[in-house]
Amino acid sequence: MTNESLSPSSSAELPAVPLQTLSSPRNQPALEALAAEARRDLERLNYPAPNWVQGTAAADDPTLDVLVVGAGMCGQTAGFALLREGVRKIRVIDAAARGDEGPWATYARMLTLRSPKQLIGPDLGVPSLTFRAWYEAQHGTGDISPFDAATPGWAGLHKIGRVDWRDYLLWVRDTAGVQVENGVRLLEVGDADGVLTARLQGPQGVETVRTRKIILALGRDGSGAPRWPDFPSLSMQDPLAAGRVFHTMDAIDFDALRGRHIAVLGAGASAFDNAACALEAGAAVSQFARRAVLPQINKSKAASFPGFLRGYSALDDARKWRFYTYIFDEQVPPPWETVRRCDAHDSFTLRLGCGWKDVQPLADGVAVTLADGSVQRFDAVILGTGFDVDLLDRPELARYTPHIDTWGRHVSPAMAAAQPEPARFPYLAANFALQSADGDKAEALSRLHLFNWGATMSHAALGSDIPGLGIGATRLAQALVSDLFVQDADLHWQKLLEHDEPELIATRWYQPAPGASTDSPT
């Protein structure tokens, strides 16, 4: 490994990297026993709660109360939270196959999660549904698993394996009975007669469903699209770019890169993860970043305690803008374990303070023009440039995007110009709903609730990161419960008037209601 911007401290002896593994061995009998325990706990919590919603209670009314689009970590937890609140007429869909929801088995390429292992979220406060319970059931509580000498127990686990997390999420979903329809994609959202319409493409073809609410839990890119740098000579429609120019979100055959020289652009976690995968496949990697020094401090760690996650949405706009533009500007350093994963290879070069001016696909590789004007040739390039937030990139919402309110309208023009990406974040209501900037489509937008990275400026990272997941899903479900009740208030009034369940029928003090039968109760 060579690095043209090593700091003086790099010569000091570095600590050993703890054991990191993608996944641990499965103990199915242990998981089945834990699932039975968790279901008993849920039953004690009266889960799933009886349906109380009146608007679509009729069996012959096909209108849903809530359609959850996306069944990754956030979507499945939102579905779980709705069932806990007695909202039963829901569908949870995902375009991906089972196990491929979210990034964990697709474009995420880290060995372990960044988050500390003790964080909770998908469990919604049920101890037997926590990751710790899931892991300990299989591998014990001590430093070494009593079932597998090569696997650490909970005390010896450094961080959660990426595939372990995926498998844990699936186990929670199955145990809690959150039904997910895989292979079903949202094509278009519309509205008619006071409800939303959703055109879906699934295994049985295209269908249009009516729903009172839609939760958009479409993941990190669900509020925009992968960010492609605007290089003069690069067009992704260029056939020469296919197989040579990748985004970190793309499916990449790393084995095909063996023996090749690969360039990676970016200094974030995904850039390093992809560099590591290429190195481990036998490629040489040159990684480039504009920054002269890698980000050193993860400021978002200081914004993940309960007070911040619960209280941020109550702040005024000026404070919200100050908090998150600062966090975004500081950027998040790559995990130190991931940097060391790359540094372990002699074929790894990190060039800091060296951005790119152009990328030109060629018949036999890619020409990269560096900031100093020099040109280097590579066999392929991987762009670790993240995801943009711009709802104009979401075709499902095309008829609404011109009307969606954004943060740029709630700060000064100078502030919006200085921070264009935060300015593009949608300006959400307290219930995570999109809002209208011009008054048009306001009713329909109020039924569309964003539960992904796009909610961050308005609500903090409640719809994207593990620390805020349980708080966010609970807040979202309770907000939708409130909305549905208010919409049905007159129906609930009528149900209250019609309620006739005598409490004293088993006593001698029972008195039939006027007009009721006087026959003695049996």
Residue whose structure tokens are 């100050």? 322
Mean pLDDT value of segment 398-426: 96
- Average pLDDT score, the chain: 93
Phi, psi of 284 (to 5 degrees): -95, 140
Residue 515 has pLDDT above 90, yes or no: no
Bridge partner residues of 215 (DSSP): 68, 449
- CATH 3.50.50.60 domain extents, the chain: 28-223+390-486, 228-294+334-385
Mean pLDDT in residue range 158-174: 98
Burial of 351 (0-12, 13-18, 19+ CB in 10 A): middle
Cα gap 200→220, rounded to integer Å = 21
C-alpha to C-alpha distance for 416 and 423, rounded to whole angstroms: 5
Inter-residue contact 380 to 412 (CB < 8 Å): no
Report the topology of domain 228-294+334-385: FAD/NAD(P)-binding domain (3.50.50)
| Interior angle at CA 391, CA 387 and CA 396, nearest 5 | 110
- Average confidence (pLDDT) over 208-235: 91
Q: Which residues contact 130 (CB under 8 A, 6 or more apart)?
A: 120, 123
Q: 464 phi and psi, to 5 degrees?
A: -150, -35
Show the tokens assigned to 212.
């009172």
SS3 state of residue 188: strand
Return the higher-pLDDT residue of 514 and 370. Answer: 370
Q: How much of the chain exceeds pLDDT 90, in percent?
A: 89
How far apart CA 445 and CA 204 sit, in angstroms, is 29
CA distance 194 to 433: 16
pLDDT in tens, 46-58: 999 999 999 865 6
CATH number corresponding to 28-223+390-486: 3.50.50.60
Query: What average pLDDT does this structure show over 9-14?
Result: 66
Q: Which residues contact 1 (CB under 8 A, 6 or more apart)?
A: 342, 343, 344, 345, 346, 347, 348, 349, 350
85-126 pLDDT, tens digit each? 999 999 999 999 999 999 999 999 999 999 999 999 999 999
334-348 average pLDDT score: 97
DSSP state of 256: G
Could you write out the DSSP letters of every residue in 33-93?
HHHHHHHHHHHHTT-SPPP---TT-STT---EEEEEE--SHHHHHHHHHHHHTT--SEEEE
Q: Is the pLDDT of residue 39 over 80?
A: yes
Are residues 106 and 250 in contact, defined by beta-carbon separation less than 8 angstroms? no
